[in-house]
Amino acid sequence: MRSVFKIGAPLVAAALALSACGGTTNDAESTSGGKACDLKIGFFGALTGDAANLGINIKNGAELAVNQYNEKNADCKVTLTSFDSQGDPAIAPGLAQKAVTDKKLVGIVGPAFSGESKAADPIFEQAGLNTISASATNPALSENGWKTFHRILGNDATQGPAAAKYIKDILKADKVFVSDDTSEYGKGLADIVKKDLGSAVAGTDQTAADGKQDDFSATVTKAKSSGATVFFYGGYYSNASKLAKQLKDGGFTGTFVAADGVKDDGFIKGAGAAAEGAIITCPCLPPDKAPEFVEAYKKAYNSEPATYSAEAYDAANVFLAGIAAGKTASADMTAFIGSYSAQGVTKNVKFDAKGEPAEVSVWAYKVTDGKIVPDQEIK
């Protein structure tokens, strides 16, 4: 793992101070004295449904970057357009088909979730529409040879082992019960955690993937009978909140551990007192490491930035830098992203040949006094 990123005011200012857009594009009409204007960046993810909070966090981060860009480029503005997938892989292909028909759309911040990414990314690849996800973590996504695929955060091949390491080294657990929601994200992550825990896995189970399951009594019974002192869950906050509450109510006294799909206030609201002490891993930067971004976000939205807001902000700024440089044709934007290297608010943003970030860190967060707070970087 890499060390904590050092973010200063000059670096944040540099990320925001993008020059006016220029050049021409094969994909959009040129106006305003020859400059390619009225271009769009898309957000693709859940704005409604059981995982909407996570999507809204990401959309807001991207929107903040676009609004700040437009303040400096009033004669040649960029629009953020949203594609609400509801986090549903079945909806994603239709939305992707709609997105690729918009010739003014130069890039997508997203898709937000691994399942919808698997469904939509082949369509984006075929059309040459570049994507930078701020939250999709399934490792297999970068193994398809897609030239337009990129993500700003570490995948579950780094988060899974980090979660297992925390469970073994910090929680000192020798018996762990592992469950997942059968989704592309949840199952993939849980499988990695199980592999790294090895013989410490005392039992396993699966829940529904749609967030609408209400009765987890069978899982609670299995977990209690396993003798586990830690319960790891791969899935999203809607299921996790109900599961954590029923585990506590059912007499399970171990520590509840989950990953980034659970890092949302919706988990605390749903689980209530049962959320207290839960551990949540995330390949995302604690807000206090980027105070200038936090201040700008709070001013814009009257709330603290949440999971992946900062990562989405960095992703949008890559596209905005490409627009500013006139790299708005599909192939030009792909090449621009491939050679991009600049300090963002979360890290020095740079991608390898598969679209993975060059810098990765994983943090453990803990629910303390009803809030999700940083615990430590898992190195």
pLDDT at 35: 64
Integer Cα distance of 376 and 147 in angstroms = 34
Percentage of the residues of the chain whose pLDDT score is greater than 90:
87
Domains and CATH numbers, the chain: 9-155+286-350 (3.40.50.2300), 156-282 (3.40.50.2300)
Integer Cα distance of 332 and 112 in angstroms = 24
Name the helix (H) or strand (E) containing 377: strand 371-377
Helix axes 114-127, 92-100, angle to 10 degrees: 30
Single pTM value for the model = 0.88
Decide if 344 contacts 15 (C-beta within 8 A): yes
pLDDT at 36: 77
175 contacts: CB under 8 Å, gap ≥ 6: 200, 202, 226, 227, 228, 229, 230
pLDDT digits (tens, 9 = 90+) for 233-269: 999 999 999 999 999 999 999 999 999 999 999 999 9
pLDDT digits (tens, 9 = 90+) for 294-333: 999 999 999 999 999 999 999 999 999 999 999 999 999 9
Question: Phi/psi at 9 (nearest 5 deg)?
Answer: -55, -45
Distances from the Cα of 305 to the Cαs of 23, 42, 51, 293, in angstroms?
34, 20, 16, 9
307 contacts: CB under 8 Å, gap ≥ 6: 54, 57, 135, 260, 263, 264, 282, 284
Integer Cα distance of 186 and 194 in angstroms = 12
pLDDT of 22 > 50? The answer is no
Cis (ω within 30 of 0) for the bond into 111? yes
Mean pLDDT of the chain: 91
Integer Cα distance of 218 and 221 in angstroms = 5
